[in-house]
Amino acid sequence: MRLTLTDYLAKHSASEGLTDVVTRMAETCAVISRAVAAGAIADQLGSAGQENVQQEEQKQLDVITNDLLLDAYAATPWVAGVASEEMETFVASSVTPNDGAFLVLFDPLDGSSNVDVNVSVGTIFSVLPSPAAGRALVEADFLQPGRAQIASGYALYGPQTMLVLTLGRGVVGFTLDPASGAWRLTHDAMTIPRATKEFAINMSNMRHWAPPIRGYIEDCLAGETGPRGKNYNMRWIASMVADVHRILVRGGVFLYPADARDPSKPGKLRLMYEGAPMALLVEQAGGRATDVTTDILDIVPTGLHQRIAVVLGSAEEVERVLAAG
C-alpha cells in the first residue's frame, strides 16, 4: 500500500507544528480541487468583478480559494500569520502563536486565467519560520530569503490532483485518491535531469526581451544545425504549476524573464508566492532557479508583492541562460 501524506510526515519526523501546517494545506487543497472541478455547475467561473492588489482581475475562484486558505489557518497556534498573492497585506493569527510557529504564504489559485477554459491550475505555498515571539507580527517578518523556507510545494488541479512537497530534503509527490480522499505517495525522489530538449516561455513577448534571453531562445530554435546541436520542443501552459510540474517529472527549462513592456515591473511572477517556493522545489530536485543575476533562494525580499524574473529547471539550460547574460 502506498504511504499516505500522514505516514510520510511521521516517517520523516516532521514536527507537530509543521505536520499541522502541511496537513491543513493538503486538506484545503483537496477542498479547492472539488471547487475547481465543479466549475460551471457551482456557478463559480468568471470574474469576481474586482481587482486584486496587483491590479489584476480577480476570478471568483481566486476569492473563494483565498478564503478557504484563510479559514484553514485562522485558528491554529502553529501559524503566526499568513500572506497571499490576493491580499494587500498579511493577516496575523487570531490566537496566540506557539513558540516555533510558522508563517504561511500562498498563491491560492495560480494560473487562474486558465480556469474558465478548463486548463490546469494550482495552489503554491511557502512555509517560513515566524521570527516574532511575544510581539505583534510586522510585514518585515515575512521578508526572509527563500533559503529560510522550512517547506514549500504546490497542489496541481489537473487530470490528477497532486500535491508536490519539499521539507528541504528532496521532493515528493502525492496523488489525491478520489475513492478514499487520501493523499498517497506516488512520486518518490522527484529529480530534474541536468540536460533537456524542452523549453517553456511565452514567445509572444519575444520582441520585448533583453538580448541575452532572445539569443538563448534563438539558439534553441536553431535546432540541431545551430549552436546547441539538438532540436528543442516547446511547451507553455500559462499555469506555472503545470509547467513546473512537467519539469519536475521529465525535465525542461521555464523562463518568465523581465521584459520591456512595463519598466516598473521586473518580471511578472512574484518572489514570495511563486519564485521562492518553486525555486526550493527545483533546487531540492537537483535543478537551478535564478532571476538571471542571483539564485532566487538568495534574494532578500523588499516587499510582499515583489516581482522578479524567473528562469528555472534543468541545470544545463539555466547555466546557459546565465552565461548568455
Tell me the residue nearest to ligand AHM as measured from the CB. Answer: 240
Picking from 146, 131, 25, 130, the residue whose alpha carbon sits closest to that of residue 79 is: 130
Per CB under 6 A, does 107 bind ligand AHM? Answer: yes
- 95 or 238: whose CB is closer to ligand AHM? 238
Residue type, 271: L
Query: Cell numbers at residue 54, please?
Result: 496587483
Which segment (36-44, 65-73, 107-115, 173-181) binds Mg ion by CB under 5 A? 107-115
Contacts of 158 (CB under 8 A, 6+ apart): 120, 242, 245
Per CB under 6 A, does 202 bind ligand AHM? Answer: yes
Q: Site residues for ligand AHM, window 108-167 (CB under 6 A)?
A: 110-113
Which segment (61-69, 76-84, 101-109, 215-223) binds Mg ion by CB under 5 A? 101-109
Per CB under 5 A, does 110 bind Mg ion? Answer: yes
Strand partners, 256: 310
Per CB under 6 A, does 105 bind ligand AHM? Answer: no
Half-sphere exposure of 269 (CA within 13 A, CB side): 30
Per CB under 6 A, does 3 bind ligand AHM? Answer: no
In the complex, the smallest distance separating the C-beta of residue 112 from ligand AHM, rounded to whole angstroms, is 5
Among ligand AHM, Mg ion, none, partner that 56 touches (CB below 5 to 8 angstroms by kind): ligand AHM
**Cα 19 from Cα 256, distance rounded (Å):** 33
- 3 or 282: whose CB is closer to ligand AHM? 282
Give the residue, chosen from 238, 249, 322, 324, that forms a contact with ligand AHM under the rule CB under 6 A. 238
Give the residue, chosen from 16, 56, 139, 188, that forms a contact with ligand AHM under the rule CB under 6 A. 56
- 124 or 185: whose CB is closer to ligand AHM? 124
Contacts of 89 (CB under 8 A, 6+ apart): 83, 139, 304
Among Mg ion, ligand AHM, none, partner that 311 touches (CB below 5 to 8 angstroms by kind): none
**Cα 145 from Cα 290, distance rounded (Å):** 13
CA separation, residue 116 to residues 61, 153, 174, 239, 253 (Å): 10, 24, 26, 13, 27
What burial letters (b/e) apply to 124-161, b meaning 16+ CB within 10 Å?
bbbbbbbebeeeebeeebbbbbbbbbbbbbbbbbbeeb
By the criterion CB under 5 A, which residues form the site for Mg ion? 107, 110
By the criterion CB under 6 A, which residues form the site for ligand AHM? 56, 85, 107, 110-113, 202, 238-240, 256, 268
